[in-house]
Amino acid sequence: MWIRTQNKYILANVNSIRICKCDIDGDVYYSIHGHYDRYEQSLGYYSTKEKALSVLDEIQRFIYHIDNLYATFQMPQDEEVEL
């Protein structure tokens, strides 16, 4: 599945996705990581675990409803995620 990172710098054909808890300069964030080729890349950062899970749910719905093999999912910004 093609996913464009939150910062729009990378377009990757991701084959698996996971949520990671990370500490950046003393602040806790939840990062959604995608695995492609032999790399693991952060696709987007979210302020809460619930927001990261909501985005993962959105990706799952996107995959389920996809009718175009070459469709691309755009990672939303933190403030765009509604709970």
Listed in sequence order, the residues at least 6 apart from 39 whose beta carbon sits closer than 8 Å to its beta carbon are: none
Asked if 1 and 73 touch (Cβ cutoff 8 Å), the reply is yes
One-letter amino acid at 24 equals I
Q: What are phi and psi of 10, to 5 degrees?
A: -130, 135
As beta bridge partners, residue 24 has 27
- Is the pLDDT at 68 greater than 70? The verdict is no
Amino acid of residue 17: I
What pLDDT does residue 30 have?
Answer: 95
The pTM for the full model equals: 0.79
Q: Is the pLDDT of residue 66 over 80?
A: no
pLDDT for residue 71? 78
The Cα 44–Cα 75 span in angstroms is: 6
